[in-house]
């Protein structure tokens, strides 16, 4: 397993993260346990900010909180001076509860409800990323009813779709997100928002995909946005002061993943924006981005306790752990791959290839199909790397499994950021209707 950030093997042959022995974490907090390497999260934040500062452009880096949204994380993001992207009232509530400065919050989503819009307006958030005409009109009306003028970006679909190793310029209009650039919807949206009394159009937003390992897709998106900005200026006399190029910067999960340094993405984006906007003699806009996975993904490690084994000679050996798709649905959803090691025997050589199964009543509940480990024994602590993004945030209570605790580690300290759910938490919102208060036999 690749050792990310402050992860290392200590003198006892145990995996250590943030200066803390993970076997001690497992003993103290139980398993499954999400462990977050705080120094690595902060380092990633700074890599983005430093690269933008070097570019000389005005910028905002907004952490896409969908990747991992808990109050402690919001605090770190606030301390690092980043902005925050939220896509629901729940993410917004979490950020506000954490004391995150509302003026640095950006609200995304293709179906913001009137209640969500009101909540965000009342909180005084910095910007709405408007996704469609229904929202545009509703936002204008609600802002008007509150006597406010609200800063917005328009999410456009630039017709660039980036995959891990390539991008496709599709001109594709079949997406639930955004105003299409190719069919004139984006142009109309600019026209309409510029004329709206209660909207302040800052510019446009484009997001081309996730877990991207090359810069070409971002360059092409910047080019398309610059062309559009120039057209809008010439035909509508509207000038954008902000261009948001979204998130999607890839990280390493397994060998063969080839992430670029975060500075490389930023340099390519800054260069493309400078060149393209200068080419059309445009006042240089602020550049905003919204990375999620690349801020927190490789800073997360999940610890599990190994339980049962099932060896099918000539086929495979299943080793089951005390978590699974409930704490990490990504292998089941996306066939995502992960690396693992035995945290309590981290310096022992590999001796067998096993498959790691979760404990849900579901054949697809597999965490890793083939991983080489020392001879695995019941009670071993299995560590799975790069589980910081879209794991806790996508966790479920399937099979009424309780969500794990989250611990932040740094400089030898471990601090709980989320408690493990209790049995009471599982039934907290259950209501037994009056007529079922007594269990009456019907036969
Ligand atoms: C609009 C938008 N912004 C930001 C992100 C964050 O992406 P990532 O976690 O890949 O950086 C996403 C997710 O793909 C997104 O849809
Ligand atoms: N949830 C996805 C990524 C979606 C990104 C949000 N638009 C993942 O785990 O990889």
DSSP string, 9-28: E-TTS-EEETTEEHHHHHHH
Looking at residue 175, what is its pLDDT?
A: 86
Tokens of 206: 């484009």
- Report whether residue 292 contacts ligand 1, using a CB cutoff of 6 Å: yes
- Report whether residue 196 contacts ligand 1, using a CB cutoff of 6 Å: no
Looking at residue 187, what is its pLDDT?
A: 98
User: What CA–CA distance (Å, rounded) separates 220 from 226?
Assistant: 10
| Closest CA to ligand 1's atom 14 | 210
Parent domain of 260: 108-291
440 alpha carbon – ligand 2 mean position (Å): 46
Say if 98 falls within a structural domain. no
Say if 443 falls within a structural domain. no
Q: Using the 3D structure, point to which of 291, 325, 357 is the last residue of a domain.
A: 291
- Report whether residue 247 contacts ligand 1, using a CB cutoff of 6 Å: yes
What is the phi/psi pair of residue 14, to 5°?
-110, 150
| Pocket mutation for ligand 2, best pick of 87, 157, 290, 334 (most atoms within 8 Å of C-beta) | 334
Number of domains within the chain: 2
Looking at residue 31, what is its pLDDT?
A: 98
Extract the runs of DSSP E, i.e. beta strands, from 221-329. Answer: 242-244, 286-289, 300-312, 316-321
The reply to whether 284 and 165 lie within a common domain is yes
Tokens of 145: 């009813």
| Closest CA to ligand 2's atom 4 | 210
The reply to whether 245 and 371 lie within a common domain is no
Q: What pLDDT digit, counting tens, does each position of 106-150 carry?
A: 999 999 999 999 999 999 999 999 999 999 999 999 999 999 999
Q: What pLDDT digit, counting tens, does each position of 262-318 carry?
A: 999 999 999 999 999 999 999 999 999 999 999 999 999 999 999 999 999 999 999
Say if 72 falls within a structural domain. no
User: Which of ligand 2's atoms lies nearest the C-alpha of 336?
Assistant: 10
User: What CA–CA distance (Å, rounded) separates 218 from 288?
Assistant: 13
Say if 222 falls within a structural domain. yes
- Report whether residue 108 contacts ligand 2, using a CB cutoff of 6 Å: no
Q: What pLDDT digit, counting tens, does each position of 28-52 carry?
A: 999 999 999 999 999 999 999 999 9
Say if 439 falls within a structural domain. no
| Closest CA to ligand 2's atom 8 | 390
The reply to whether 419 and 385 lie within a common domain is yes
Q: Which helix (H) or strand (E) holds 406?
A: strand 405-410
Looking at residue 218, what is its pLDDT?
A: 94
The reply to whether 135 and 231 lie within a common domain is yes
- Report whether residue 224 contacts ligand 2, using a CB cutoff of 6 Å: no
- Report whether residue 330 contacts ligand 2, using a CB cutoff of 6 Å: yes
Q: How are beta strands 286-289 and 300-312 bridged, if at all?
A: unpaired
112 alpha carbon – ligand 1 mean position (Å): 17
The reply to whether 126 and 267 lie within a common domain is yes
Q: What pLDDT digit, counting tens, does each position of 66-95 carry?
A: 999 999 999 999 999 999 999 999 999 999
Q: Which helix (H) or strand (E) holds 384?
A: strand 381-385
DSSP 307: E
Instruction: Please list, in sequence order, all residues whose beta carbon lies within 8 angstroms of the beta carbon of residue 172, skipping any fewer than 6 positions away.
Output: 157, 159, 161
Does the annotation place 253 within a ligand binding site?
Answer: no
Other beta carbons within 10 Å of 428:
9
CATH number at residue 408: 2.40.37.10
So which residues are the catalytic ones?
A: 361
The reply to whether 246 and 331 lie within a common domain is no
Residue 333 near residue 324, CB atoms below 8 Å: no
Q: What is the pTM of this model?
A: 0.97
The reply to whether 275 and 323 lie within a common domain is no
What is the phi/psi pair of residue 291, to 5°?
-75, 140
User: What CA–CA distance (Å, rounded) separates 109 from 290?
Assistant: 14
Other beta carbons within 10 Å of 119:
17
The reply to whether 280 and 314 lie within a common domain is no
The reply to whether 275 and 317 lie within a common domain is no
67 alpha carbon – ligand 2 mean position (Å): 7
User: What CA–CA distance (Å, rounded) separates 358 from 354?
Assistant: 13
Looking at residue 251, what is its pLDDT?
A: 97
CATH number at residue 168: 3.20.20.10
User: What CA–CA distance (Å, rounded) separates 2 from 44?
Assistant: 17
The reply to whether 334 and 282 lie within a common domain is no
* Strand partners for 37: 409
Residue 80 near residue 38, CB atoms below 8 Å: no
Say if 188 falls within a structural domain. yes
392: left (phi over 0), alpha (psi -120 to 50) or beta: alpha
User: Which of ligand 1's atoms lies nearest the C-alpha of 250?
Assistant: 10
Say if 82 falls within a structural domain. no
Sole residue written with tokens 């081309």: 208
- Report whether residue 290 contacts ligand 1, using a CB cutoff of 6 Å: yes
Does the annotation place 167 within a ligand binding site?
Answer: no
Q: Using the 3D structure, point to which of 249, 264, 291 is the last residue of a domain.
A: 291
The reply to whether 170 and 191 lie within a common domain is yes
User: What CA–CA distance (Å, rounded) separates 334 from 364?
Assistant: 11
User: Which of ligand 1's atoms lies nearest the C-alpha of 209?
Assistant: 14
Say if 65 falls within a structural domain. no
The gap from C-alpha 354 to its chain's centroid, in whole angstroms, comes to 29
Q: Using the 3D structure, point to which of 271, 291, 311 is the last residue of a domain.
A: 291
Split at pLDDT 50, 70, 90, the class of 174 is confident
The reply to whether 225 and 336 lie within a common domain is no
């Amino acid at each position: 397993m690749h050792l990310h950030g402050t992860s290392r093997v200590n003198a006892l042959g145990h995996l250590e993260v943030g200066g803390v022995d993970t076997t001690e974490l497992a003993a103290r907090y139980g398993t499954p346990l999400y462990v977050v390497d705080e120094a690595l999260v902060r380092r990633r934040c700074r890599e983005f900010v430093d690269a933008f500062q070097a570019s000389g452009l005005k910028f905002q880096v907004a952490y896409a909180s969908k990747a991992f949204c808990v109050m402690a994380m919001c605090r770190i993001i606030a301390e690092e001076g980043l902005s925050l992207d939220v896509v629901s009232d729940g993410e917004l509530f979490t950020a506000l509860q954490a004391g995150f400065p509302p003026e640095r919050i950006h609200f995304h989503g293709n179906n913001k409800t009137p209640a969500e819009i009101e909540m965000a307006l009342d909180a005084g958030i910095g910007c709405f990323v408007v996704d469609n005409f229904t929202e545009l009109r509703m936002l204008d009306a609600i802002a008007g009813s509150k006597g406010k003028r609200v800063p917005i970006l328009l999410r456009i679909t630039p017709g660039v779709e980036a995959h891990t190793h390539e991008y496709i310029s599709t001109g594709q209009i079949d997406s639930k997100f955004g105003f299409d650039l190719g069919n004139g919807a984006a142009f109309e949206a600019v026209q309409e928002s510029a004329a709206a009394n209660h909207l302040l159009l800052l510019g446009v937003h484009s997001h081309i995909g996730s877990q991207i390992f090359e810069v070409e897709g971002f360059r092409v998106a910047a080019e398309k946005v610059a062309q559009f900005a120039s057209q809008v200026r010439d035909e509508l006399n509207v000038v954008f002061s902000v261009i948001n190029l979204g998130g999607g910067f890839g990280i390493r999960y397994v060998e063969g993943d080839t992430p670029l340094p975060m500075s490389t993405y930023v340099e390519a984006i800054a260069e493309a924006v400078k060149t393209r906007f200068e080419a059309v003699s445009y006042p240089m806009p602020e550049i905003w981005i919204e990375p999620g996975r690349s801020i927190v993904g490789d800073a997360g490690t999940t610890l599990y306790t190994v339980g049962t084994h099932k060896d099918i000679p000539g086929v495979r050996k299943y080793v089951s752990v005390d978590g699974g798709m409930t704490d990490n649905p990504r292998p089941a959803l996306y066939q995502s791959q992960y690396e693992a090691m035995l945290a309590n025997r981290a310096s022992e050589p590999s001796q067998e290839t096993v498959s790691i199964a979760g404990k849900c009543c579901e054949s697809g509940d597999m965490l890793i199909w083939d991983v080489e480990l020392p001879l695995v024994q019941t009670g071993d602590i299995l560590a799975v790397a790069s589980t910081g993004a879209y794991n806790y945030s996508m966790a479920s209570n399937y099979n009424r499994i309780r969500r794990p605790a989250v611990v932040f580690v740094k400089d030898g300290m471990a601090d709980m950021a989320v408690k493990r759910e209790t049995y009471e938490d599982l039934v907290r919102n259950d209501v037994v209707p009056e007529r079922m208060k007594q269990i009456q036999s019907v036969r």
